[in-house]
Amino acid sequence: MADKPEKKRPVRRIAEKRNEGRDRHRQKEAEERARLARLDTPREVRRPLVRRPAVKQDAFGIFAEQFARFMGTARFLIYMTLFVLIWIGWNWLAPPDLRWDDYPFIFLTLMLSLQASYAAPLILLAQNRQEVRDRVVNEQDRQANARAHADMEFLAREVASLRMALGEVATRDFLRSELRNLVEEMREDDEGDEDPSDSAHEK
């Protein structure tokens, strides 16, 4: 009977270790979920099996803008018209052995459609870049206008305060009139002081 508890103890220890291992595993999973849920922690980037070609967006955007500008010029229309006329004229008038695109000029149609299919996204990309540039310029203009408006308000307040201060400043005419009044009052006081003495001498 004494051997049975000793046999049960190792089994309990094994079960407790398993439970501890499960608890640790669950705790690690919870910590990992909490870490991934945080927005300030970047996620681990998995490397793709096939690397995508790295394209500089700025360089490609500049190319798209240049291409869109070139397509919107008269030079492009002249070049394109000459190309189509030469193509059609050669395949229409050249000997049959030297023609590479007979009527109805399917290969020319395919080339023009491919050109249009590539030109449309490039033009849209150039327009998007122009919209972003216009948005930045408009934001800068708005900030400049806000600063100018604030400066104008400040200057208007300063001018109003200067006018009020100048209204309280004594002018030259006012000072002259006050000085004259003071001189006259002093003369009157002097004359008033001299009168009693004169009367005493007369007596």
DSSP string, 17-68: HHHHHHHHHHHHHHHHHHHHH-SSSPPPPPPPSSPPPP--HHHHHHHHHHHH
On whether residue 106 sits in a domain, the answer given is: yes
Residue type, 4: K
User: Which structure tokens are listed for 108?
Assistant: 């020319």
On whether residue 124 sits in a domain, the answer given is: yes
pTM of the model: 0.44
64 exposed, middle or buried (CB, 10 Å; 0-12, 13-18, 19+)?
A: buried
What is the per-residue pLDDT for 198? 54
For 101-111, what is the mean pLDDT?
84
The total number of structural domains in the chain stands at: 1
- Evaluate whether 67 touches 122 at the Cβ level (below 8 Å): yes
Confidence of residue 19 (pLDDT cuts 50, 70, 90): confident
Q: Of 71-75, 99-103, 122-126, give the lowest mean pLDDT range.
A: 99-103
On whether residue 157 sits in a domain, the answer given is: yes
65 Cβ contact partners less than 8 Å away, ≥ 6 residues apart: 126, 129, 130
On whether residue 38 sits in a domain, the answer given is: no
On whether residue 160 sits in a domain, the answer given is: yes
Residue type, 184: E
Q: What gap in Å lies between CA 1 and CA 181, rounded to an integer?
A: 133
Q: Does the pLDDT value for residue 42 go beyond 80?
A: no
Residue type, 57: Q
Domain extent, residue 69, equals 57-165
On whether residue 116 sits in a domain, the answer given is: yes
Distance, CA of 99 to chain centre:
56
On whether residue 96 sits in a domain, the answer given is: yes
What is the per-residue pLDDT for 82? 93
What is the per-residue pLDDT for 164? 82
For 13-23, what is the mean pLDDT?
77
On whether residue 68 sits in a domain, the answer given is: yes
Q: What gap in Å lies between CA 9 and CA 15, rounded to an integer?
A: 10
What is the per-residue pLDDT for 95? 83
Distinct helix (H) and strand (E) counts, the chain: 5, 0
Main-chain phi, psi angles of 70, to 5 degrees: -65, -35
For 43-59, what is the mean pLDDT?
67
